[in-house]
Every structure is written in C-alpha cells, then in structure tokens.
Amino acid sequence: MLPNLHTKWSRRLFNLAAAPYAWMTWQDTWRNHCGSLAVHFPNPTHPQSLRVLDLGIGPGVSGIGIVEQRPDVSLVGVDFSEQMLRQAQGFVKRSGKSITLIRADGAALPFSDKTFDIVTHHSFLYLVSNRSGVLQEIHRVLKNNGRYVMLEPNEDGRFSVIPSMEGNLRFKLSMALWRFFSARYGRFTETQLRKLLETTGFDNITILPTLGGLGWIVCADARKQAV
C-alpha cells in the first residue's frame, strides 16, 4: 500500500523537509527544468492571461521557473505543507514574481469547476495515494480542453545515468534522492500513466521521457461532456 500523503505523519515529514528541500532545489538547473514544462503550455486564445495551477508547489521553485518562461500567465501555487509554503513565500519575494500561494489538499481543491486553463506539477502525483481522486479534481478545475502538464518519475529509469547528467553536484544529489523517494512511494510506467489519464477524462495524451529516462513529461487535455 502506498503511504498516504495526507496523514498527519506525512504532513509533519514534509514540514521538516521543507528547508533542506528548498536548499536542494533552489538552483538554476532545477528551476530551468521546472520551467521547461511551460514549453507544453498552449498560447492564449483570449486577451486575458492564462490561469495556471501549480499543484505541490513546495518551496516555489517550480512556479518561479514557469513564470520565468511564461511571464504572460497568472499562476496559483498550492501545497498542503505550511513550511513548504513559508519557504515559497521567501523565494517568490526574492524572485520578484507574482504568484498566489494557497494551502490546500490536492484531493479537495478550493476552486470552482472550470477555473484554470492549465494545471501542472513536478514530482507530485507519485506521492499521492488517491491518484484517481486527485486526477478527478484536476479534471474538474480545468476548463473544457484545458491542458494538463506534469513531470513524474519513470519506473524503468536507471540510477546509473545520474553521474553523467548536466548540472552541478547539488542537482545530481537531488536526482539521487528523487530516485530513492520515488522507489518508496511508487513510480510510473507509461502504460500506468496513460490508463490513469484515460479513466479520469483526459485525451490527446503525450508521454515523453526526460532527465535521461528518469522521468516522464506528460501532456493531456481535459475532455468535458457537453451539457
């Protein structure tokens, strides 16, 4: 059985890990890689900014990276850890970016239906026990044909690629720890990801390897039934 991200124990663990995780991820290589998710965002079809939800924003590095790549979007970052959000407040202020931070549970998002043009996350879904429930919430808050972009660990990735990856020692350490923790919580095969998305109302699914095969970049569109 997967550990439940939403237990008091898990919340305490993530609060304790907030400062070291922030130190490990606040670096150009990590931030730029998070920002590369924005390559898969659509261009706006209306004059208003695209509304983006970053789930599990943690210390804010992913959201800052995205806004650096796409300054035209309006980004809301959600996390359930108070200490992660405290770290994020500091980094967002330092970056000078405009990001709204909200403490919330990914399985019970405090937003109306069809609120966001895009939902994204980096290394979030693998930590969640109720994956289908979270995906249903993501689908609910996405607009019709809204875009879902995520990066998650690949079950078949090889630890041996880490020493030859681009980036400094801190980035390689973060990759090694990511591999360790994802082994505990549960990685994904391409087939598993596709099935999860298809059964929760997504189509136009694209799944591509990244980070030397350690991860998957996944893009999908929210399929809504006509009313």
- CATH number for the domain spanning 133: value is 3.40.50.150
Q: pLDDT tens digits, residue range 124-150? A: 999 988 899 999 999 999 999 999 999
Quick check: is 183 in a domain?
yes
| Best CA proximity match to 104, nearest among 86, 140, 76, 78 | 78
On whether residue 216 sits in a domain, the answer given is: yes
Span 90-128, pLDDT tens digits: 999 999 999 999 999 999 999 999 999 999 999 999 998
Domain housing 188:
8-222
Answer yes or no: is 2 within a domain.
Answer: no
Tell which residue, 131, 143, 124, 111, has the closest CA to residue 222: 143
pLDDT digits (tens, 9 = 90+) for 141-200: 999 999 999 999 999 999 999 999 988 899 999 999 999 988 888 899 999 999 999 999
Name the 3-class secondary structure at 152: strand
Question: Strands, DSSP E only, in the chain?
Answer: 51-55, 74-79, 99-103, 116-122, 142-153, 202-210, 215-222
Comparing CA positions, the residue from 75, 215, 227 lying closest to residue 156 is 215
Rounded to two decimals, the pTM is 0.91
In a domain, 3, yes or no: no
- Identify whether 38 is part of a domain: yes
Tally the domains of the chain.
Answer: 1
Residue at 142 is within a domain: yes
